[in-house]
Amino acid sequence: MAPPGSSSPSTEFDHNKASSTTSPSESIEDIQTIHSTASRSVPKLSDEPNVQKKEYLHSLEEETSNIQLTDQTNLLPFRQIIIVYIALSSCVVVTALDSVIVATSLSTIANSFRAGSVISWVPSAYLLTSTAFQPLYGRFSDIFGRKSAMCLAMGLYMLGNLISGFTKGSIVQVIICRGVAGAGGGGIVGMMQIIVSDIITLRERGKYHGMIGAVVALGYTIGPIVGGLLAQKVSWRWCFWVTLPLSLVSSAVVVLVLPVKPVAGDIRKKLLLIDYVGSLLTLIGCALIMLPLIWGGVTFPWTHPVTLSLLSSGALVVLLFCLYEWKCAKLPIVPMYIFKHSTVSGVYICMFANGFVFFSSLYYIPQFFQAGLGYSPIRAGLFLIPLLVGQTAFSWVAGMLVSYTGRYRASCDFRGTTHRANARNLFQTIVYTGFAFIAISCGFISTITHNTSKATMVVLMLLVGCGSGLTLATTTVAVQASVERKDMSVVTAFRNFVRSLGAAFSLSVASSVVNNSLLASMIEISLSPSTITTILNDPSILARASSIGLPDEQALHVLEHGYEAGFKKFFIINASLGVMATIVSATMVKHKELSRDDDEKLKSEAKAGLKKQEENQDPEAGVQSSELVVKRDAEMGVADVRMVSRGEA
């Protein structure tokens, strides 16, 4: 007998026999049921890759739905800050030099390609793409890292300029290549500010941001001279190539000396974090708004259907962008909640005015010296030095004052008030005093004529530069102090975008105001259409009226009632914007704490990381560590022998 609980062969036989007595239809149903159950429970081999892919994508969706960006703050010691800052400053000098060098050589380029009618598109293409791409770099640097974003910007800039210099076929190729260069050049200054903000505390940041203004002013000062010499003595191609060696060296130094924190995530996860829809809407919206600003009053009248339709479409796309970033984007390029801070919104309004006034002054003051006084482009460019010196000096002074006062420690007046109140008054006073300088100086500039003394002009330009300098570093610190560290790069990039947008608007508005005034004065004295077109294309020809057969009396009438009248109207607009910015900065820009609780902790972590890195790179430290390991292993070996001898192993 079989033991209990076991089945004998006969029992199994009987069971099989009983099973075999079932009907054929029932057997078929059982087989179908078993097959369907197996097919549901066991996946096919061909389906396994799809299942794994779905699981991977699902895990990525879960990770991106709860996005945690890497905090790239890495507060460095002073000696390393200097090395990094010099490399970054070289990158910024390159962009400042480039813009004015190319602008100086435009007439030579136009003659080479016989393309005087479209030569304005060479700087316009750079302005268009540099403005459109600026908001993107802030978020891209959050996703891929500061060093990668900076290298991308420098790489695009160098590639565009390199190909521009080799162009032989058509001016269209130069325009396209300048657009590529602008896509990189637009992000360089913003990336420098972001990197400086990563490696320097908020309290000390002001003086370094102030020196950025000095670096840019240096490029604007020597750029016209270099551009004029290259175009006249060598070749216009070197106007594109001259900055490439410095760009390459600066990029290499940044890569080698800039210590950065690794950004978490593989490349696929990082690509999924990009706001593609927002990026596309940004580029389309900027293009639709910038194109009519470039064409308006030049290629098409402001009331032309093309101009109006593009502006309307651009406004619609901007509205769609805001709605998408607000409601749909997981990691928006411009988070809408940053505008809840009155300081952030106030700074953006003020920086639009700053860009409008500064860049219009940079362009139209030299033109005034050429048209009214008959100066050459290089000599007229030298009269920009007071403006740029004023901006340089006062940008640095303002930054030093903000860094020195820090957390309300310094006394700024002697009326018995507290240190806290004095420092607060100083910080806020710097910002709106700068815009007050801009308003007053632009108001006085609107009164100058070709008979005004040169000393008066120099003083007024110095005041404009002082006002601009006082508002550069302070607004950067103010906007960064108003948000958390995770939004610092975004608000900085958008600040630069708004300033560039103000510059684009200023050149279009100034061109329209001055040209309309010129046109009215020339129609008044019944000049020929060809003469009107010539003067509108180049107002500086009024200083050489005999070259186009224009009597001196008529030239003086056009200069006084046309060009100078338009110049006056436009600088009244600048003064009005200065007043508006003064009021906004005094009411909306609030003082924020410049010291943060974790500054000392982050400094200690950065020092520890650098020390560890130096030990890993030091051969002697490596030998010492190897000796310690050998000694430790030897000691452990002796202990093991003792344990074996005692029978403990």
Position 586 scores a pLDDT of 86
Pair 143, 288 in one domain: no
Number of domains the chain is built from: 2
* CATH code of the domain containing 266: 1.20.1250.20
Q: Which of 268, 264, 227 is nearest to 108 (CA)?
A: 227
Position 317 scores a pLDDT of 95
Calpha distance 357→345 (Å, rounded): 19
Position 548 scores a pLDDT of 85
Query: Does residue 78 lie within any of the structural domains?
Result: yes
Position 623 scores a pLDDT of 42
Last residue of a domain, one of 330, 361, 377: 330
Pair 137, 270 in one domain: yes
- Determine phi and psi for 296, rounding to 5 degrees: -55, 125
Pair 93, 180 in one domain: yes
Pair 162, 287 in one domain: no
Position 59 scores a pLDDT of 52
Position 618 scores a pLDDT of 54
Pair 206, 116 in one domain: yes
Sign of the torsion angle spanned by Cα atoms 612, 618, 619, 621 = negative
Last residue of a domain, one of 274, 293, 312: 274
Pair 170, 257 in one domain: yes
Calpha distance 86→215 (Å, rounded): 10
Domain of residue 292 covers 275-330
Which residues of the chain register pLDDT less than 50? 1-46, 56-57, 60-65, 407-417, 419-420, 423-424, 427, 620-649
Pair 270, 289 in one domain: no
Helix (H, G, I), strand (E, B) or coil at 260: coil
Last residue of a domain, one of 274, 290, 322: 274
pLDDT tens-digit series, residues 301-332: 888 899 899 999 999 999 999 999 999 998 99
Position 595 scores a pLDDT of 66
Position 105 scores a pLDDT of 79
Position 158 scores a pLDDT of 95
- 121's CB contacts (< 8 A; 6+ apart) are 171, 175, 294
Query: Does residue 510 lie within any of the structural domains?
Result: no
Query: Does residue 354 lie within any of the structural domains?
Result: no
Pair 95, 192 in one domain: yes
pLDDT tens-digit series, residues 199-230: 888 888 877 877 777 777 777 777 777 877 78
Pair 311, 215 in one domain: no
Calpha distance 56→212 (Å, rounded): 45
Neighbouring-strand partners of residue 296: 300
Pair 138, 99 in one domain: yes
Position 579 scores a pLDDT of 95
